[in-house]
Amino acid sequence: MSYKRKVSAEEAKGKFVFILKNALKKFPQANKSFTVQVGDKKYSTIIKPVHCTCVGTPHEHYHMPVAIIPEISDLKKGDVVTVKKLSGSIYSVSVKDKA
């Protein structure tokens, strides 16, 4: 399993990765803690539902917060984030600069 996303200005400013609804099945259930591995370091995060009315009808968006992950917390618009399932509830995360 892998999930790849080009970071928006909103994501970079808010220090999160937007998880598309059709990709939710690739991740643990919302609000359930899982491990993100960056190199040899491990961090705990969640998929966080965020209430929204951007299209008029109330609905949820899903964010993976990255502020507590120093190696990827400095996201910039245009960076490409790749999340890969390694095993169980452990996922690797990498960022490719927009350069």
Using the 8-state DSSP alphabet, how is residue 40 labeled?
T
For β-strands 80-87 and 16-19, DSSP reports them as unpaired
| Ordered strands of the 16-19 beta sheet | 16-19, 59-65, 48-52
**Residue ranges per domain, the chain?**
2-96
Task: Tokens 């803690």: give the residue.
Answer: 33
Question: Could you give the CA distance from residue 25 to residue 7 in angstroms, rounded to a whole number?
Answer: 20
**Domain 2-96 indexed as CATH 3.40.50.2000:** no
User: What does the pLDDT profile of the chain (99 residues) look like in tens digits?
Assistant: 899 999 999 999 999 999 999 999 999 999 999 999 999 999 999 999 999 988 889 999 999 999 999 999 999 999 999 999 999 999 999 999 865
Question: Could you give the CA distance from residue 5 to residue 88 in angstroms, rounded to a whole number?
Answer: 22
- State pTM to two decimals: 0.90
Task: Tokens 């099945």: give the residue.
Answer: 25
